[in-house]
Chain A
Amino acid sequence: MFAYIIRRFFQGALVLGIVGFIAFSMFRFIGDPYENILGQDATVLDRQALEERLGLNKPIAIQYLKFLGNAMQGEFGVSYRNGIPVSEMIAQRLPATIELAIVSALFALFLGVLLGVYTAINRDGFLANFIMTTSLIGVSLPTFLIGILLIWVFAVELNVLPSFGRGETVEIWGWKTGLATASGLKSIILPAITLGLYQMTLVMRLVRSEMLEVLRTDYIRFARARGLTRRAINFGHALKNTLLPVITIIGIQLGQIIAFAIITETVFQWPGVGLLFINAVNFVDVPIMATYLLLVGSLFVVINLVVDLLYVVIDPRLRLDGTEAR
């Protein structure tokens, strides 16, 4: 087991290294930061001097190795945009994104599983069909439009929920949270729905179809034949078996949630790393971009690993030979 974790870890690190290099070589094509740093008054000489100082005239591979070397020591450089160390900026922004991602994922998971189970059990019911059809509307519109429509309805027209930001935050054990205050909780509602809606639909439909398959299995028939209550069958047996594939999807979707947070955070001015990344792209703030991609990449690797381990926890069949399972 331990060897398995180690092996996955190194695979992950290798992947990260490659992804990082590809990303890094792409940065040179998305513009250069000189105008942003120097302002419109700069002369040609100023620009050359800056290029030299930033090392942007060196080959990509050299720049990348330098970045990696520093990154190994926890040194991610300093933002071109405002001179603040990247690690500090990311650390400051990460809690906001993590809170948003987790709340969105929980929203997607709970509502998705709930509706999925409901629509599976009442397969041909009117309400179930209605839910199935309307849920498709949520995935037939792009995220940014949903966000803007929510702002329009709930902030501008109804004036009941905030249109931007995290609201009031407090620091609990060094973690700046918006989940402990009323305004913070109010602020997270619209962004979390915007971000989680797609995943909610996905989870719901997946749960439904998996559940329908599970409900047709012999062991569910056998459970019925044993005279178990509907409740025990649906939740004790069917749901647990249904969730197995759902966990994989959730793992992948958590990655998607973090990536799509870029859009949600832009729409709602949510002060997380996604917004930081978009700003960095606009400013060609290479250290921030590189660190963000590295961070997101590591998150994906960790999530993947956690999902694999979770599989082993839930599925007893994998416990003995977990290393061979996947």
Chain B
Amino acid sequence: MTRKTLSAAVLFALAAQGVMTAAQAETLRWARAGDSLTLDPHAQNEGPTHTLAHQIYEPLLHRDMSASVIPALATEWAPTEDPTVWRFKLREGVKFHNGEDFTADDVVFSLERAMKPTSAMKELLSSVASVTKVDDFTVDITTDGPNPLMPSNLTNLFIMDSGWTTDNDSAEPQDIANGGDNFAAKNTNGTGAFQLVSRVVDEKTILKANDAYWGKDEFPLEVSEIVFTPIQSAATRVAALLSGEVDFIQDVPVQDLARVGGTDSLKIVNAAQNRTIFFGLNSGDEDLTSDNVEGKNPFSDVRVRQAMNMAINRDAIQRVVMRDQSSPTGVIMPPFVNGWTEALDAYPAVDVAGAKALMAEAGYGDGFSVVLNCPNDRYINDEAICQAAVGMFAQIGITVNLDAKPKAQHFPLIQNRTTDFYMLGWGVPTFDSEYIFNFLVHSTTDELGSWNGTRNSNPDWDAKIVSLASETDLDKRNATIKAIWDGVQAETLYLPIHNQVLNWGMNKSVNFDVQPEDQPHFKFLTFTK
């Protein structure tokens, strides 16, 4: 242990005793459920990993605390006359933590690095043909076809120092899947507002403010030190906040919001999250394996799906299970996403009698039984929602056997198509409907539809979805999006439940807005003095 971490630890210990000192006011003790998986910014495409990376590294542009795209290392960006080329003007006078200057070479190097086979970010750049340096502070990105949404794909693509990275044998992203380990996975050299002081995986990570940060005057930058501790158990995490051992936690369980909010020294801040929770059903197969109906698939009948949609009491789920921390929805798309409309968002009123009538009409008046697969450690109160749904479906005669398990066992069921009825949550990092269609609506092929567990295949939709990627006329594109959504809704392809609401718990002295992607950027954080 270095002396630095030792002194940091002393500081932490002092803080843990609840002694308020002036110096400590600038230290932010932060906890969330999971730790970053690696410090290599291209090796994992995962929330907590990106969160830490965002403090240390910067992309060309990123989403601020209200999720709107703002300049970071790029100051201007626009498509050129050639619709397949985007031009980015880079910020000048930026230095990496080790003192190296930031130039176009670093951008080219970093984006190319992120496209290498071992990168986890390569999907986001799959349309990129090449990245070229125009001059020291201008970079062109050429895509296979016109890509109107190029900028939103870049918000989590971090820029590394080409010299430092190559010198330390880290030119290839850490190959996690193959057990690769590299220098960049344990060390950092970014341009971000914070730099790494020490890190023990799953235990404690300490960052300090970057004195040479380019945005010193632009952002509040009041935090001088961040002590990050992952705390897995929700009860313990809340206890740590309640006892004043930490100042800021993500992932506050909804049931503890009142207690945290009611504590004098603490407050809760929330905002709608970019994630929709819904049920998927196998409507494509001839027969289901987990039901008690021989030779037929009840889910293939749209009337059954509609009946089920009408049986779900979304308001009750919102009120009781989510304690109002959700917004019920009728579409599998959060409101931020391009293509969202209020009409799509509207959800059917609970109508048990009507649902029963529909069931009878479809020939299932006596009901049937089926297994619902549900994760129990992925979404907010996922298991409780499924339980509640079991009761609601029971009222229209569908006996649902709930099978809840950890996400590592749940998701393979969807991917291997071994579940007929499942819960899934979907976030849209690109803020565009195409992302949803690609993964959830397009029929399953090698490239697309990898999360479409409905086995539904609609060539018409597929053609429309593929056309979106290269449509440059935004109006036309939006019309196609609307057409696809109308089809999906008419078919009741999925049973939407709600959009999640994010809750952050923090010390009253902390001023911080909730970021819809659950990505705090601590340079925005201020303290009430």
- Judged by CB atoms under 8 Å, the answer to whether A and B touch is yes
Given contacts A42-B450, A84-B185, A164-B245, contact A268 B175 (CB under 8 A): no
Q: Are A30 and B412 in contact (CB under 8 A)?
A: no
Q: Are A267 and B236 in contact (CB under 8 A)?
A: yes
* Contact string against A for B residues 13-36, beta-carbon threshold 8 Å, 1 for contact and 0 otherwise: 100111000000000000000000
Q: With A and B bound together, what is the CA distance between A152 and B259 in angstroms?
A: 13
Q: Are B245 and A163 in contact (CB under 8 A)?
A: yes
A171 at the interface (CB under 8 A from B): yes
Residue of A nearest to B38 (CB): A82
A45 at the interface (CB under 8 A from B): yes
Q: Are A53 and B200 in contact (CB under 8 A)?
A: no
- Which residues of B are found within 8 Å of A36, using beta-carbon distances? 407-408
- Which residues of A are found within 8 Å of B242, using beta-carbon distances? 155-156
Which residue from A45, A54, A81, A89 sits with its C-beta under 8 Å from B446? Answer: A45
Which residue from A41, A83, A84, A266 sits with its C-beta under 8 Å from B175? Answer: A83
- Which residues of B are found within 8 Å of A166, using beta-carbon distances? 203
* Contact string against A for B residues 442-468, beta-carbon threshold 8 Å, 1 for contact and 0 otherwise: 001111101100000000000000000
Q: With A and B bound together, what is the CA distance between A171 and B201 in angstroms?
A: 17
- Which residues of A are found within 8 Å of B419, using beta-carbon distances? none
Q: Are A35 and B181 in contact (CB under 8 A)?
A: no
Q: Are A34 and B412 in contact (CB under 8 A)?
A: yes
Q: Are B181 and A78 in contact (CB under 8 A)?
A: yes
B233 at the interface (CB under 8 A from A): yes
Q: With A and B bound together, what is the CA distance between A43 and B240 in angstroms?
A: 40
- Which residues of B are found within 8 Å of A38, using beta-carbon distances? 120, 177
Q: With A and B bound together, what is the CA distance between A169 and B6 in angstroms?
A: 8
Q: Are B13 and A156 in contact (CB under 8 A)?
A: no
**A81 CB to closest chain B CB, in angstroms?**
6
Given contacts A169-B9, A176-B1, contact A41 B124 (CB under 8 A): yes
Number of residues of chain A lying within 8 A (CB) of chain B: 65
A32 at the interface (CB under 8 A from B): yes
Q: Are B446 and A167 in contact (CB under 8 A)?
A: no
Q: With A and B bound together, what is the CA distance between A81 and B450 in angstroms?
A: 22
A276 at the interface (CB under 8 A from B): yes
Q: Which of A151-178 contact B (CB under 8 A)?
A: 151-152, 155-156, 159, 162-171, 176
Stretch at the interface among A9-17, A253-261, A277-285: A277-285
- Which residues of B are found within 8 Å of A152, using beta-carbon distances? 239
Q: Which of B185, B201, B409, B415 has the most CB of A within 10 A?
A: B201
Q: Which of B223-264 contact A (CB under 8 A)?
A: 229-233, 235-237, 239-240, 242-245
- Which residues of B are found within 8 Å of A50, using beta-carbon distances? 177
Residue of A nearest to B425 (CB): A40
**A126 CB to closest chain B CB, in angstroms?**
37
Q: With A and B bound together, what is the CA distance between A83 and B200 in angstroms?
A: 14
- Which residues of A are found within 8 Å of B368, using beta-carbon distances? none
Q: Are B185 and A47 in contact (CB under 8 A)?
A: no
Q: Are B9 and A168 in contact (CB under 8 A)?
A: yes
- Which residues of A are found within 8 Å of B203, using beta-carbon distances? 165-166, 271
Q: Are A282 and B245 in contact (CB under 8 A)?
A: no
B164 at the interface (CB under 8 A from A): no
Q: Are B239 and A155 in contact (CB under 8 A)?
A: yes
- Which residues of A are found within 8 Å of B240, using beta-carbon distances? 155, 163-164
A297 at the interface (CB under 8 A from B): no
Q: With A and B bound together, what is the CA distance between A54 and B179 in angstroms?
A: 9
Q: Are A275 and B38 in contact (CB under 8 A)?
A: no
- Which residues of A are found within 8 Å of B143, using beta-carbon distances? none
Given contacts A53-B178, A78-B179, contact A84 B406 (CB under 8 A): no
Q: With A and B bound together, what is the CA distance between A276 and B202 in angstroms?
A: 8
Q: With A and B bound together, what is the CA distance between A214 and B461 in angstroms?
A: 83
B12 at the interface (CB under 8 A from A): yes
B88 at the interface (CB under 8 A from A): no
Stretch at the interface among B43-51, B106-114, B489-497, B512-520: B43-51
B10 at the interface (CB under 8 A from A): yes
Interface SS of B by simple majority: loop
**A20 CB to closest chain B CB, in angstroms?**
19
A39 at the interface (CB under 8 A from B): yes
Q: Are A39 and B16 in contact (CB under 8 A)?
A: no
Q: With A and B bound together, what is the CA distance between A279 and B407 in angstroms?
A: 12
Residue of B nearest to A85 (CB): B181
B377 at the interface (CB under 8 A from A): yes
Q: Which of A59-103 contact B (CB under 8 A)?
A: 77-85, 89, 92
B340 at the interface (CB under 8 A from A): no
- Which residues of A are found within 8 Å of B406, using beta-carbon distances? 31, 281-282
B123 at the interface (CB under 8 A from A): yes
Q: Are B13 and A282 in contact (CB under 8 A)?
A: no
Q: With A and B bound together, what is the CA distance between A138 and B178 in angstroms?
A: 46
Q: Are B235 and A80 in contact (CB under 8 A)?
A: no
- Which residues of A are found within 8 Å of B230, using beta-carbon distances? 269
Q: With A and B bound together, what is the CA distance between A271 and B13 in angstroms?
A: 16
- Which residues of A are found within 8 Å of B347, using beta-carbon distances? none
Q: Are B16 and A41 in contact (CB under 8 A)?
A: no
Q: Are A92 and B200 in contact (CB under 8 A)?
A: yes
A116 at the interface (CB under 8 A from B): no
B180 at the interface (CB under 8 A from A): yes
Which residue from A53, A156, A167 sits with its C-beta under 8 Å from B239? Answer: A156
Q: Are A164 and B239 in contact (CB under 8 A)?
A: yes
Q: With A and B bound together, what is the CA distance between A31 and B421 in angstroms?
A: 18
A248 at the interface (CB under 8 A from B): no
Q: With A and B bound together, what is the CA distance between A83 and B118 in angstroms?
A: 12
Q: Are B176 and A148 in contact (CB under 8 A)?
A: no
B439 at the interface (CB under 8 A from A): yes
Given contacts A40-B451, A284-B408, contact A34 B415 (CB under 8 A): yes
Residue of A nearest to B229 (CB): A165
Q: With A and B bound together, what is the CA distance between A275 and B33 in angstroms?
A: 13
Q: With A and B bound together, what is the CA distance between A83 and B237 in angstroms?
A: 26
Q: Are A266 and B174 in contact (CB under 8 A)?
A: no
B411 at the interface (CB under 8 A from A): yes
- Which residues of B are found within 8 Å of A155, using beta-carbon distances? 239-240, 242-243, 245
Q: With A and B bound together, what is the CA distance between A183 and B12 in angstroms?
A: 10
- Which residues of A are found within 8 Å of B17, using beta-carbon distances? 183
Q: Which of B56-106 contact A (CB under 8 A)?
A: none
A37 at the interface (CB under 8 A from B): yes
- Which residues of A are found within 8 Å of B1, using beta-carbon distances? 169-171, 176
Q: Are B16 and A151 in contact (CB under 8 A)?
A: no
Which residue from B45, B123, B243, B444 sits with its C-beta under 8 Å from A44? Answer: B444
B506 at the interface (CB under 8 A from A): no
* Contact string against A for B residues 161-189, beta-carbon threshold 8 Å, 1 for contact and 0 otherwise: 00000000000001111111100010000
Which residue from B174, B229, B408, B445 sits with its C-beta under 8 Å from A164? Answer: B229
CB pairs A–B below 8 angstroms (19 shown): A31-B410, A32-B408, A40-B426, A40-B439, A53-B178, A80-B176, A81-B176, A82-B38, A83-B38, A156-B242, A159-B244, A163-B240, A164-B237, A166-B203, A267-B236, A269-B233, A275-B232, A282-B407, A283-B408
Which residues of A come within 8 Å of B, CB atoms? 30-45, 47, 50, 53-54, 77-85, 89, 92, 148, 151-152, 155-156, 159, 162-171, 176, 181-183, 266-269, 271, 275-276, 278-279, 281-284, 287
10 closest residue pairs by CB, A with B: A78-B179, A31-B409, A183-B13, A39-B45, A41-B123, A31-B408, A35-B411, A271-B203, A163-B239, A83-B176
With A176-B1, A266-B233 given, can you name 18 additional A-B contacts, CB distance below 8 Å? A33-B408, A34-B412, A35-B407, A38-B120, A40-B439, A53-B178, A78-B180, A80-B177, A82-B201, A83-B37, A83-B176, A169-B1, A169-B9, A271-B202, A275-B202, A279-B232, A282-B377, A282-B406
